[in-house]
Structure 1
Amino acid sequence: ACTVARQKSDLFHKYALRNAANLLKPEAYLKPLEQKIKNVSSILKNKEETVLNAWHYRKKIIDEYLQYISFKRNTDKVFVWIDEHDECFVSKLEELDINDEGYMDFVRALK
């Protein structure tokens, strides 16, 4: 809405300049009008930037939340898979007869 209002004020300013060309003293007519249009345009531009920044911040928060939800779902799937297959996984590791102590500590921790 701020963008549309700013565009309309620019359009109004353009038509006011055209109309003032037909007057005898366009400077007296245009000076206060131009200042008002510039003030309103400046206010609208500031509001537009504020709104765009707020939307950008909100979108960033939503994107981060969606990434968190996706990560949480994936970790839940991994934990379910580990719960279903941990015995098979541990038995295969024992069959391979791996002698690495750090790795065997990990295997014992899984049990």
Structure 2
Amino acid sequence: MSQEIGVIGSPEFTTGFRLAGVRRFANVPDEDKPEELDSAVEEMLAAEDVGIVVMHDEDLDHLSRNVRKSAETSVEPVLVTLGGSAGSGGLREQIKRAIGIDLMEED
């Protein structure tokens, strides 16, 4: 069973998570995003001990099409994005994908 949280992003983004005790992280400096982000995401998605992958919403724009599709459709680990303008609709979709039901579904 996957129990770790993994964080991918700039050193500024990952630092807070590391201070909170997250041990799995990949620092990808802004200048290296196009080259390194794809491999960091693929590695984190393949890790058997990671259940949740956290990224900044804007970093999704830097992923290649195939890696982005894999990340967005992954059930385990589930991808959670923070920041940006995803709003509650984005979080709602992430929760729905993670647990398989829509908690806010209208009758």
TM-score of the pair, normalised by structure 2: 0.25
- If you compute each CA radius of gyration, which structure gives the higher value, 1 or 2? 1
TM-score of the pair, normalised by structure 1: 0.25
